[in-house]
Amino acid sequence: MNASTLTGWRKAAIITLLLLPGIGLIFLLVGSVIVMAIAQSFGYFNLAGESVLSLDHWSGQLANRLLWVSVIYSLKIAFVSAIVSVALAYPIALWLRNPFPGSASISALLKAPMMVPGLVAAFLFINIISFHGFLNEALVGLGLISTPMRLQNDRYGFGVMFLQVWKNMPFALLLLTGAVQSIHSDILDAARDLGAGALSRFRKIVLPLTLKAMQGALVIIFIGAAGDYSFQMIAGPTKVSSLAQYMYTVQHEFGQWNDAAVVAIVLMTVALTGSLFLAAMVQFIVAGRRS
């Protein structure tokens, strides 16, 4: 080993030691939970029996139709919520790009749902759409319908998707507004000068230049929506469970901690791979437009 290598090792060691309090804590907190869940899914940390290595929990759950129904349902909710939230946030971010009288108030108002806890939002939503809620009462009162409609806990999860979008669109707006505002006006003017109409400017300039912010918004919203519990419990369909709801049922109703750990691992995998797939898909679509 020569002197320079030793210096390199020493430097690396110092950097590692300096980073350890921060990164080490993150690894400890996040890693320990994940490791414990993985271990539990293979029979360890068994709270209701003997702790032994076993693949029974995995084979049992993977053969369970309810798990796959929950996976598909959670994927659907997460994909739709993330994409619709971002799709709605873009035009608003572009509209608010250049300040105008009242734009700050509108922006603040649009971000207000971020301050409302999810459970509160879900209950308010139920108040509106329930059988004798504000919407039905108003429609009946106006004579537009003769009997109230059954809107609560719809079988497709539209209510949950609506709540997810309502709650997450402001977050997407927050990320995208900054990204859109960072595009110099001259760049958009140049595109216009070179013959690009509004749609072309959006597709060829705005989208690529805000890609990272969009991917960030999609990933974070996707992960949150995939793991949703509260909206699903209040406003979700009664015949289908989200993965989080299913995991709770397995653990709470049946006392199967190890099976619940399997569902937890599946949930984390779905959230991670689904969000990465979404980000990659967007990257592919937008990159494909570059020329």
Partner 1 sequence: MAGLCIERVSKVFPNGYRVLDDIEIDVPSGEFLTLLGPSGCGKTTLLKAIAGFHPITSGRMLIDGRDITALPPERRDTAMCFQSYALFPHLTVAGNILFGPHQNRVDKNECATRLETVLRQVDLVAHSSKLPSALSGGQQQRVALARAMAMRPGIILFDEPLSNLDAKLRDQVRLEMRALQAQHGFTAIYVTHDQAEALAMSDRIVVMKGGRAEQIGSPGEIYYNPKNRFVADFIGAANVMKAEIIGRNDNGAWRINTALGELQIESGTEPAARNVYVCWRPEDAEIVPEGTTQQTNVFSAGVVSQAFLGNVTDFFVRVTPDHPPYRVQARGMQKLGQSVELRVNPARLSFLEAVE
Interface residues with partner 1 (CB under 8 A)? 184, 186-187, 189-197, 200, 204-205, 208-209, 290-291
Residues 6+ apart with CB under 8 A from 238: 153
Smallest distance, partner 1 to C-beta of residue 176, A: 17
Q: Within its chain, how far is the Cα of 33 from the centroid? A: 20
Task: Mention every residue, 6+ apart, whose C-beta is less than 8 A from residue 85.
Answer: 164, 165, 168, 169, 171, 172, 217, 221
**Which position has the token pair 């009162």?**
141
Taking the complex as a whole, how short is the minimal distance between the CB of residue 197 and partner 1, in angstroms?
A: 7
The residue among 99 and 255 lying less far from partner 1, judged by its C-beta, is: 99
- What Rg do the C-alpha atoms of the chain give, in angstroms? 24
CB-wise, 149 or 187, nearer to partner 1? 187
CB of 86 to partner 1, least distance (A): 19
| Residue located via tokens 């271990």 | 39
Rounded to 10 degrees, the C-alpha dihedral 228/216/71/63 comes to -120
Nearest approach in angstroms of CB 60 to partner 1 is: 49
Q: Identify which of residues 239 and 290 has a Cβ nearer to partner 1 in the complex.
A: 290
Question: Could you say which DSSP state residue 115 is in?
Answer: G
Contact of 79 with 73, CB cutoff 8 Å: no
Q: Pseudo-torsion of CA 185, 187, 192, 194, nearest 10°? A: 150
Of 138 and 187, nearer to partner 1 (C-beta) is 187
Give the tokens for residue 175: 């990320």
Q: How far is the CB of 217 from partner 1 (least distance, A)?
A: 19
In eight-state DSSP terms, residue 290 is: -
Closest contact distance (angstroms) between CB of 106 and partner 1 is: 21
Query: Please, which residue, 31 or 197, has the CB nearer to partner 1?
Result: 197
| 214 or 263: CB nearest partner 1 | 214
Query: Which of 115, 194 has the CB closer to partner 1?
Result: 194
Considering the complex, what minimum distance in angstroms separates the CB of residue 288 from partner 1? Answer: 13
Whether residue 180 contacts residue 210, with contact meaning beta carbons closer than 8 Å, is answered with yes
How far apart CA 252 and CA 47 sit, in angstroms, is 12
